[in-house]
Amino acid sequence: MPYLTSKNNIRWHYEATGQGESLLFIHGLAADKRVWNQQVEYFKNFYKVITVDLPGHGQSPWLDVTLEDIVRDLDFLLNALGVTEAHLAASSFGGLVALKYFEIFPDKVKRLILIGAGPKFAKSREFPYGLEIPRIRKLRSQVETNFPEILNIFFRSLFTLEERKSLRFKWLQMFQKDNVLPRQEALIKLLRILEKEDLTRTFLNICVPVFCVSGAQDYICPPEALRHFQSQLPQARVEVFAGCGHFPFLSKPREFNERLKIFLCQEGHVEIN
């Protein structure tokens, strides 16, 4: 699979397949681009589907970069692929990447799909549905002192008890064992970003169609957070997947793909039979 070295000297690992409008999938913390395999297989029939490994994840090496560095590098990659506009679908921490991309390059975003993600993750007076800051810091401390064992505990916590009993989860565990471990220093840095970043102002200025998705039992981005986002941005479409935790696109890929297809097909952008 191809690599591209950016102006920031990050060697990005990516994949582009299919033809048509561009659809970029951005994974979250401690994952890699392979979490989107079931979406790639489906949407490559209708779109130019692009997936990337974020710095320090999968097969992209780590350099100490900021969120803006990551976004400008993504734009460098898209330009190299001849992409002038793209739909952005992002999971968890990837949602911050997608929103920051919109902030810097608003004319290049056609639609935003935020899965278990929003403009901020940390709890505050204005946003009471986020994670407690001590909880984020505890996870960062555990990554510093108990890596990589904490990754398995964290991964399991993102799924419901019923999901963990399923055959699909057993497959996901096998998939996880095959993963290249993310770099410890990358997780520490990105958790610091996750704690502090607040892109609410950017979110309120979104002028493209937005689809906010979460699992009914997602504690990272609970349904209450989605309803809060929709109150701020009434035109946003919100959907909660029953029986799911943080990754409805992994636990219910067929249902997720169908819902995403409907959203992408609105207003006649792409016709899918």
Neighbours of 221 (CB within 10 A): 26
Chain mean position to CA 156: 18
In the sheet with 11-17, reading across from the earlier edge strand, the strands are 3-5, 11-17, 48-53, 22-26, 86-91, 109-115, 210-215, 237-241
Residue type, 201: R
Instruction: Report the pLDDT value the prediction gives residue 50, as an integer from 0 to 100.
Output: 98
pLDDT at residue 176, as a whole number: 57
Query: Is 128 a domain residue?
Result: yes
- Which positions ≥6 away from 13 have C-beta within 8 Å? 1, 2, 3, 33, 52, 53, 58, 59, 60
pLDDT of residue 20: 96
251 within a domain of the structure (yes/no): yes
- In sign, the C-alpha dihedral spanning 79, 83, 84, 89 is negative
Residue 250's alpha-carbon distances to 121, 258, 259, in angstroms, are: 21, 13, 14
pLDDT at site 78: 97
- Residue 1 pLDDT exceeds 70: no
- 149 domain residue, yes or no: yes
- 269 pLDDT higher than 60: no
For CA atoms 181, 182, 183, 187, give the dihedral sign.
negative
CA 152, 153, 159, 164 dihedral sign is positive
What pLDDT sits at residue 166?
Answer: 81
Tokens of 255: 């249902």
Residue 113: phi and psi, rounded to 5, are -120, 115
**% of the chain with per-residue pLDDT over 70:** 94
Question: What are the distances in angstroms from CA 130 to CA 126, 172, 219?
Answer: 10, 26, 9
273 lies in some domain: no
Q: CA-to-CA distance for 90 and 100, rounded, in angstroms? A: 12
Asked whether residue 216 is assigned to any structural domain, the reply reads yes
Whichever domain contains 262, its CATH number is 3.40.50.1820
Q: In the prediction, which pLDDT does 168 show? A: 74
Q: Which domain holds residue 162?
A: 3-268
Strand 11-17 versus strand 48-53 pairing type: antiparallel
pLDDT at 270 (0 to 100)? 37
- Residue 85 pLDDT more than 50? yes
Number of domains into which the chain is organized: 1
Query: What stretches of 133-266 adopt beta strand conformation (E)?
Result: 210-215, 237-241
Q: Is 70 part of any domain?
A: yes
| Per-residue pLDDT reduced to its tens digit, 157-191 | 999 999 998 877 776 665 555 557 899 999 999 99
* Cα separation of the two ends of the chain: 30
Q: What are the φ and ψ backbone dihedral angles of 29, each rounded to 5 degrees? A: -60, 135
Q: How far apart are CA 120 and CA 197, in angstroms?
A: 6
CA distance 38 to 137: 32
pLDDT of residue 266: 81
Structural domain includes residue 86: yes
Q: What is the pLDDT of residues 90-145, one digit of tens each?
A: 999 999 999 999 999 999 999 999 999 999 999 999 999 999 999 999 999 999 99
Written as six digits, the tokens of 174 are 């096998």
Is a pLDDT exceeding 70 seen at residue 37? yes
Query: pLDDT digit string (tens) for 211-258?
Result: 999 999 999 999 999 999 999 999 999 999 999 999 999 999 999 999
Instruction: Provide the residue count of the chain.
Output: 273
Residue 91 placed within a domain? yes
